[in-house]
Amino acid sequence: MYGTAKLKVPGGKLISVKVTYWDSIDSVQILGDFFIYPEESILEIERTLVGTSTKASEQEISSRLQSFFDGHDITLVGVTAQSIAMALKMAMK
């Protein structure tokens, strides 16, 4: 299956998610007008999400992302782990 979603974060930026999935995420692309440093870390975030069960809750996905951010020197501006998780779940509906 394939899904897309766009989410305007209140007081923040736009997130666009494209995802291919079945029982778990096969591939994901995260785009938008937010900032992430270092820029190439977005690819690492996408790889971290591959394999995540489609049954995972928004909170579980957010926690997975936050754990990843805590273990790496990544700065997000205009979005949060929670908003990325929300957009991802929207794309899988």
Give pLDDT, residue 8.
96
Give pLDDT, residue 36.
93
35-85, pLDDT tens digit by residue? 999 999 999 999 999 999 999 999 999 999 999 999 998 999 999 999 999
Between the alpha carbon of residue 39 and those of residues 44, 51, 74, the distances in Å are: 10, 22, 9
Nearest to 19 by CA among 41, 60, 58, 51: 51
- Six token digits for residue 32: 């938008």
